[in-house]
Amino acid sequence: MINFKLNDKPLQVEEGTTILEAALAEGVKIPTLCYHKDLTPYGACRLCLVEIVGGGRPGLEASCVFKATEGLEVKTDTERVKKSRKIIFELLMARCPDSEKLNKLAAEYGVSRSRIHLKQKENCLLCGLCVRACAEVSERHAQSFSGRGHRRTVDTPFSKISEKCIGCGACAYLCPVKGLKVQEAG
Ligand code: FES
């Protein structure tokens, strides 16, 4: 078992437990967008940032992928966390201004608009939920990330309708911007 502190509260968790899992079990609220309990955590959206304040290298970490270690001290709502989280919300909102899920979550954390303006809005937050659902739930691997930096996108091989897709709709169901259309199986 691992002993660590979350918001000054001593906790004991099983080895391999992430900070987010420990926080959720304690009823501590942390915003997440790319996390799903049944999928491998990916650490893409960065909304789940927490601050390591003792027992480890100090700094901000994505709690969905950061595991509790012996003696670690973590805080979930420091000024630094709040400031960084706000900027991340604004960046994501600039990318996908029409995402109802994102806007609702941002409002819960006091962010009602983005001061960032991008030339082109996107219809994808690059959260990777669709890619993971396709690979881990449907076991089809019909889509994946492609490109780097600002060219990064989720796509099917050669941008063609994938023969691997069975039209299960898991990707579309999980997409936080509802940006996916399910192709007919066949
Ligand atoms: S929920 Fe942790 S990075 Fe997205």
pLDDT digits (tens, 9 = 90+) for 109-158: 999 999 998 887 788 999 999 999 999 988 888 888 888 887 888 888 77
State the first-to-last Cα distance of the chain, in angstroms, to the nearest integer.
49
- Overall CATH class of domain 129-174: alpha beta
Q: What is the CB neighbour count within 10 angstroms for residue 97? A: 16
User: Which tokens sit at 77?
Assistant: 């709502």
Confidence tier at 184 by pLDDT (50, 70, 90): low
CATH of 2-76, one of 3.40.50.11540, 3.10.20.740, 3.50.50.60, 3.30.300.30: 3.10.20.740
Query: What local confidence, expressed as pLDDT, does residue 185 receive?
Result: 52
Query: What local confidence, expressed as pLDDT, does residue 90 receive?
Result: 96
Q: Cα(20) to centroid of ligand 1, in Å?
A: 9
Q: Cα(70) to centroid of ligand 1, in Å?
A: 22
Residue whose CA lies nearest to ligand 1 atom number 1: 32
Q: From CA 25, how far away is CA 175, in angstroms rounded?
A: 25
User: pTM for the full model?
Assistant: 0.89
Q: Cα(163) to centroid of ligand 1, in Å?
A: 30
The answer, yes or no, to whether residue 186 has pLDDT greater than 60, is no
User: Taking all residues of the chain, what is their mean pLDDT, rounded to a whole number?
Assistant: 91
Q: Tell me which of 21, 35, 36, 89 to substitute to probe ligand 1's pocket, judged by most ligand atoms within 8 Å of the beta carbon.
A: 35
Summarised one tens digit per residue, pLDDT across range 71-95 is 999 999 999 999 999 999 999 999 9
Domain spans of the chain, in order of start: 2-76, 129-174
For the CA of 31, the closest atom of ligand 1 is: 1
